[in-house]
């Protein structure tokens, strides 16, 4: 299996997952807040919209179909 087919399958899979869940929210650790002796950890939320999933899905299909043609 070539690299382009592997990338295409990964893009298609991620696109389907994002579309199935109507977007995905990821949380990453933010910068800690220090107020005197108190340390508070923060979390940042990042939302991946369904449009990004649709773009990944279409891109993966195009790469899978177009990647097999030789010029």
- Taking alpha carbons only, the member of 38, 39, 21, 22 closest to residue 30 is 39
Q: How far is CA 5 from CA 2, 62, 66, in A?
A: 5, 11, 10
What kind and span of H or E run contains 33? strand 33-35
Q: Delimit the domains of the chain by residue range.
A: 3-66
Residue 67 is encoded by which pair of tokens? 């990647």
pTM assigned to the model: 0.73
Judge whether 60 and 12 are in contact, CB under 8 Å.
yes
23-66 pLDDT per residue, tens:
999 999 998 989 889 999 999 999 999 999 999 999 999 998 98
13-26 pLDDT per residue, tens:
999 999 999 999 99
Local structure of residue 14 (DSSP, 8 states): H
């Amino acid at each position: 299996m070539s690299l382009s087919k592997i990338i295409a399958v990964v893009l298609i899979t991620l696109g389907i997952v994002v579309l199935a869940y109507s977007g995905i929210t990821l949380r990453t650790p933010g910068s800690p807040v220090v107020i005197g002796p108190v340390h508070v950890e923060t979390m940042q939320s990042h939302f991946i919209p369904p449009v990004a999933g649709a773009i990944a899905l279409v891109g993966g299909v195009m790469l899978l179909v177009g990647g097999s043609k030789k010029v």
